[in-house]
Amino acid sequence: MKTIIVTGASSGIGRETAQYFLDHGWRVGLIARRSDVLAEMAQQNAVLLPCDVTDEAQVDAAFAQFGHLDVLFNNAGMFGPQTTIDEIALADWKQVVDVNLTGMFLCARAAFRQMRHQTPRGGRIINNGSISAFTPREGSVCYTTTKHGVSGLTKTLSLDGRAFDIACGQIDIGNARTDLVQNLEKKRAAEGLEPLPTMAVEDVARSVFHMASLPPEANVQSMMVMATKMPHIGRG
């Protein structure tokens, strides 16, 4: 049975993706802070791993508990304050960096360690980036900066993993209908702006599944999946 750990599995893209893999017969480790929400997802082949991705000891313990690992979907993240840089408190900046960058580093490190030393050796790490790693949205300095960092993490892991049969790729997502995007839509509506083009979260899960299901000799280094009518392509 193929295995995957999904971080940020209690909601949004993480929850939808975890369920998609469970529906396709994978053993799925579910990482999120809220154990009560994870409990709602308990079913055959689901391994509940309540854990704060910013806590080194908790992350290492969760991966050790899960055992043999074929794929990590490194997904946990947060948006942070939606404003200009001069109105952002240092504590808010550090919180976003801790979750989006340090948390991703800790989970990738634990996965890499497991994949390097397990038998058979190797595996695949899929980092959740964002279209913001290419084209920022206004008022997103914390989120955008960390997502650029994720791109650097992905490329480095791709190189360092080759000697150990560990592949790494990144999926950059634009406007899946998660709570985060719906909150942005509410903010835009309050400001009298047009609704955002969006897509179903299941479309993201299906894309992650494709990346995860490739044979060891093939890798999707970078995939962008986005709402068709997003203004990402083109100039104003």
Annotated catalytic residue within 105, 112, 143, 209: 143
134, 173 Cβ separation under 8 angstroms: no
> Which segments within 54-163 are labelled E, that is strand?
71-74, 123-128
Amino acid at 78: M
- Reduced to 3 states, what is the DSSP secondary structure of residue 147? helix
Rounded distance between C-alpha atoms, residue 223 and residue 33, angstroms: 28
Task: Decide if 20 is catalytic.
Answer: no
Token duo for residue 28: 């799925």
Crossing angle of the two packed helices 141-161 and 103-117, in degrees rounded to 10: 10
The number of beta carbons lying within 10 Å of the beta carbon of residue 203 is 15
Amino acid at 38: L
Token duo for residue 13: 């893209």
Active site residues: 143
